[in-house]
Structure 1
Amino acid sequence: MTQKSNPALFINGTWQTGNGKAFHAENPANGDIIWQGKAASPDDVNAAIMAARNAFPAWAKRDLNERIEILERFAGLLNDHKDALARTISLDAGKPHWEALTEVGAMAGKIAISIKAYHDRTGTRHGDAPGGGQAILRHKPHGVVAVFGPYNFPGHLPNGHVVPALLAGNCVVFKPSELTPLVAEETVKLWQQAGLPDGVLNLVQGERDTGIALAQHPGIDGLFFTGSVPTGYHLHHAFAGQMAKILALELGGNNPLVVWNAADLDAVAHHTVMSAFITAGQRCTCVRRLIVPTAAKGDAMIAAINDYCDRLIVGAPDDDPEPFMGPVISNRAADGLMAAQAKLVADGAKIIREITRPDPARPFLTPGLIDVTDVKNRADEELFGPILQIIRVDSFDDAIREANNTRFGLAAGLLCDDAKLWQRFIHESRAGIVNWNKQLTGASSAAPFGGIGESGNHRPSAYYAADYCAWPVATLQTDKLVAPDAAPKGVRP
């Protein structure tokens, strides 16, 4: 299915054709071209930023309830178009329809959560000032912010930045992943239908050059990014020394799951598989390292997980029966994961369940289990796909040390029946998300999301997004100017 060229840009309330180079997006399941258009040139990016800058004063001064009304209309439109938008996500990202529906549901749910977070964490506070009068805490929007979206949740994750940014009174220039442009286009159309004023939200599509033009533009007051660690590094370096701009980063992790003294092997298998292979392993909270005991206990756990993997259906989103896993995002991503498996084996890893690629022309991968216990100098990197590395250790002390043996710190989990071991784990683990007897890939939007170390900063996209979308202004005030009754000490009467 080949699409006509799309007007790739939405600037100041109008759909426009970009002046950059042509590019296209493919359905990863079958290779069909589902979107094509021209990227935003540097001049186009400048026009989008100027449109946002011009729209900012009126939007920031607009009554909060009016902004909320528009956001709630957007939530209603998401619910009204839930099935259609989910099918667009399946086309763009290869997700099974059941999973894409949950993504649209999370997008709609983000509105109420963001409103509550705004009132809980920002908004306006009144109190008594020392010596009389009022102490007031207000929050102001930054101005024009850029939002960069990833491909794995092309609707939900950029939405997690855009919604709280608009709620706080910012104007936004949104650059989605070049791999999933269609979801961004359809989402912006719903914002337009919701009545968002011209220039408040602008869309620039494109590849690396468009992203560089947006990130380096002097007219933005901040950038909110969810995506890969290498891109996060690039943005962090690009923003170095620009203290006036806020940079919020949600990156990845080499996430550990420790399984210890867990009697229910069916539960171990279920929660491990849900943590490792949902979304074809393309969630930043997916487990990358499974840490289990040596000898028979560990063998039994691994066998149960391997048996569960036998039941997973891998296929296209529209297959019948519906699959658990779709393809990874691209042939390039699949090639990289196959190469990573080969390198682990060359370094001494033992394959328990090999990642296979049934059709070399398409990026469908079966889940893989690889024992890397004997691999020396294991690379501390995020393998973003359905590959689970298994590490066997002799003691729970060793398990905690191994779990923390990463420069990242996004997510960690423990499957265990012993509450005392859980108390040790929650105290000693180094991660921003730490779960007990729950899958790692089910984070709550009503809580902060993000990690420590090289997993990012500011806890972007979830409940604490309100914190980085506005800046606090502390005020002492009284409506009448009066002198004190007595002169201060050291001042003659």
Structure 2
Amino acid sequence: MSNIIKSICPATGDIVWEGAAASEAEVHAAVAKARATFADWSLTSFDHRADIAKAYAEKVKAKSEDIALAISRDMGKPLWEARTEAGAMANKVAVSIASYHERTPTRRTDTTQLTHRPHGVMAVFGPFNFPGHLPNGHIIPSLLAGNTVVFKPSELTPQVAEIMAQCWAEAGLPDGVLNLVQGARETGGALLNAEIDGLLFTGSATTGAFFHKHFAGRPEVILALEMGGNNPLIIREPVDIDAAADLAFMSGFITAGQRCTCARRLILPEGAFGDAIVAALEARIAKVKIGRWDEEDIFMGSVVSEGAAKAAIEFEAKLKAAGGTSIRALERDGAFLRPGLIDVTNADVPDEELFAPFMQVIRTPDLDTAIARANATRFGLASGLICDQSSVWDYANPRLRAGIVNWNKPTTGAASNMPFGGPGLSGNHRPAAYYAADYCAWPQAGQVSEVAVGPAMRGF
């Protein structure tokens, strides 16, 4: 008998989705179906595949409110924010088509030929924080390149995946090209052990490292792993304190801190300026509106589950035990968290990513020390600098080790026409977003001649 999985809305406690998890046999059947359809799909023209993707974008637009509701009810994201995610999903098609042409070109001369070929069956593992947009960013470029896909969404956010699959079917995608398998760890394990040609993953470093180890010694399986970060945000004088505080607040607490680009470590100068930034942040934390996803005029909703909220409180306690000094403690009400701040300047704290609205404050005497503290992490996804002096930016930018380095912008800002990823435990050097086309196809080079002419031979 199949295991039943349930999605429980963290804001209300209601069961908002219930269904059977795919068994091992069902997962292998889905992979076999993807394998059987690969040859025909890969041999269709790119224009035909692009037309289906464009039709998918129109279906997503038509169902955007259903998608937003599914996202909000599954993981607690405010409806206004879920609507922006639904919009990004539709816009991803045009960006991916442009990326494919730029990143995987076809060229032919009188003597050479360059084309790009799909890998085969791609397994896509989706995260809970952007359950539509992030797997969408793997699926669309995979299908455009001619791959077939088996998609396992997070068991915490299953609803939007079903809407996505429905949109693809209504857009004219042939049966078996995209295959949805719902489930948790057992379903994911079965997919890892199936006959796949690629694994495209967005999630935690712990899970990504496990996947990397699982496929050790199997270079024929391409891995694209996006694994988050313990991201630093540096603020230096001169800058308007209110503007800096607003940017820091957005960086740390948008989506209740559940973005992989959220600032986890706030690096401030010693002295009065740093004190003023902390005070401004405390004032914003005290008055920010937090509520159910469907409430009007809220900035933050809940975290994904009550368990996640409890884990954040436990993490805060661990930092205090390591020598951190609480500035403003997290406040928990079920799955809702009011943001917290803790000073860890002189504490020996773990280099871990916490998906919650919680920032560690680090005070430094100078810019070089600030940069050194920013780079003191195993991760390398996002980093930021807030300062009005361009000379400070010019100095810091090449010294900050991160795939995304923003100046006077939130760390959570990422452009759709740019790569998304970073070094260290943030990935395996296969950035997503605009560069997703790179891992969805492999280059095929050739020397060509329209007439067979024997080469000049010696010794005859």
Shorter-chain TM-score range: over 0.9
* CA offsets 1:269-289 (integer angstroms, 9 cap, x no match): 111011000000000000000
Q: Which residue of 2 aligns with 1:108?
A: 90
Within-5 A mapping of 1:154-193: 154-193=131-170
Within-5 A mapping of 1:42-61: 42-61=24-43
Shift of the alpha carbon at 1:425?
1.0
Q: Which residue of 2 aligns with 1:416?
A: 387
Shift of the alpha carbon at 1:78?
1.1
Work out which of the residue numbers 365, 368, 373 in structure 1 matches 2:337. 365
Shift of the alpha carbon at 1:50?
0.6
Shift of the alpha carbon at 1:352?
1.5
The answer to whether 1:194 aligns with 2:171 is: yes
Work out which of the residue numbers 292, 296, 315 in structure 1 matches 2:291. 315
Q: Which residue of 1 aligns with 2:446?
A: 475
Q: Which residue of 1 aligns with 2:208?
A: 232
* CA offsets 1:164-204 (integer angstroms, 9 cap, x no match): 00000000000000000111111111111111101000000
* CA offsets 1:440-464 (integer angstroms, 9 cap, x no match): 1110111000000110024443000
Distance, in Å, in 2 between the alignment partners of 1:108 and 1:459 is 23
The answer to whether 1:246 aligns with 2:222 is: yes
Q: Which residue of 2 aligns with 1:292?
A: 268
Q: Which residue of 2 aligns with 1:11?
A: none
Distance, in Å, in 2 between the alignment partners of 1:461 and 1:240 is 21
The answer to whether 1:427 aligns with 2:409 is: no
Q: Which residue of 2 aligns with 1:4?
A: none
Moved more, 464-473 or 84-93: 84-93
Distance, in Å, in 2 between the alignment partners of 1:34 and 1:246 is 35
AA aligned to 1:417 is D
Q: Which stretches in structure 1 are left out of the alignment for 5+ residues?
A: 1-18, 128-132
SS where residue 38 of structure 2 aligns?
Answer: helix
The answer to whether 1:397 aligns with 2:374 is: no
SS where residue 291 of structure 1 aligns?
Answer: strand
Distance, in Å, in 1 between the alignment partners of 2:323 and 2:375 is 22
Q: Which residue of 2 aligns with 1:15?
A: none
Contact 1:448 1:459 in 2 (8 A): no
AA aligned to 1:398 is T
The answer to whether 1:347 aligns with 2:322 is: yes
Work out which of the residue numbers 331, 341, 365 in structure 2 matches 1:356. 331
The answer to whether 1:301 aligns with 2:277 is: yes
The answer to whether 1:141 aligns with 2:123 is: no
Q: Which residue of 1 aligns with 2:419?
A: 448
Q: Which residue of 2 aligns with 1:335?
A: 310
Contact 1:262 1:415 in 2 (8 A): no
Contact 1:268 1:305 in 2 (8 A): no
Distance, in Å, in 2 between the alignment partners of 1:308 and 1:269 is 8
Q: Which stretches in structure 2 are left out of the alignment for 5+ residues?
A: none
Moved more, 67-76 or 309-318: 309-318
AA aligned to 1:224 is L
Percentage identity across paired residues of the two chains = 54
Contact 1:458 1:464 in 2 (8 A): no
Distance, in Å, in 1 between the alignment partners of 2:238 and 2:7 is 44
> When the two structures are superposed, what TM-score results if normalisation uses the length of structure 2?
0.98
Work out which of the residue numbers 261, 275, 289 in structure 1 matches 2:237. 261
* CA offsets 1:403-459 (integer angstroms, 9 cap, x no match): 000011001000011111111111111100001111111101110000001100244
> When the two structures are superposed, what TM-score results if normalisation uses the length of structure 1?
0.92
Distance, in Å, in 1 between the alignment partners of 2:434 and 2:393 is 25
Contact 1:262 1:268 in 2 (8 A): no
Equivalent pairs counted in the alignment come to: 460
AA aligned to 1:352 is I
AA aligned to 1:138 is T
Q: CA-atom RMSD, angstroms?
A: 1.2
AA aligned to 1:162 is I
Shift of the alpha carbon at 1:262?
3.1
Q: Which residue of 1 aligns with 2:5?
A: 23
Shift of the alpha carbon at 1:384?
1.0
* CA offsets 1:92-123 (integer angstroms, 9 cap, x no match): 11111110011011111110000000000103
SS where residue 166 of structure 2 aligns?
Answer: helix
Contact 2:422 2:431 in 1 (8 A): no
Query: Deviating runs (4+, > 2 A) in structure 1?
Result: 308-311, 457-461
* CA offsets 1:247-280 (integer angstroms, 9 cap, x no match): 1000011100000113201110111011000000
Q: Which residue of 2 aligns with 1:273?
A: 249
Q: Which residue of 1 aligns with 2:190?
A: 213
* CA offsets 1:344-363 (integer angstroms, 9 cap, x no match): 22222222121101x3xx21
* CA offsets 1:204-236 (integer angstroms, 9 cap, x no match): 01110100110121x100100000111101100
Shift of the alpha carbon at 1:71?
0.4
SS where residue 310 of structure 1 aligns?
Answer: helix
Distance, in Å, in 1 between the alignment partners of 2:119 and 2:429 is 15
SS where residue 146 of structure 1 aligns?
Answer: strand
AA aligned to 1:472 is P
Shift of the alpha carbon at 1:48?
0.1
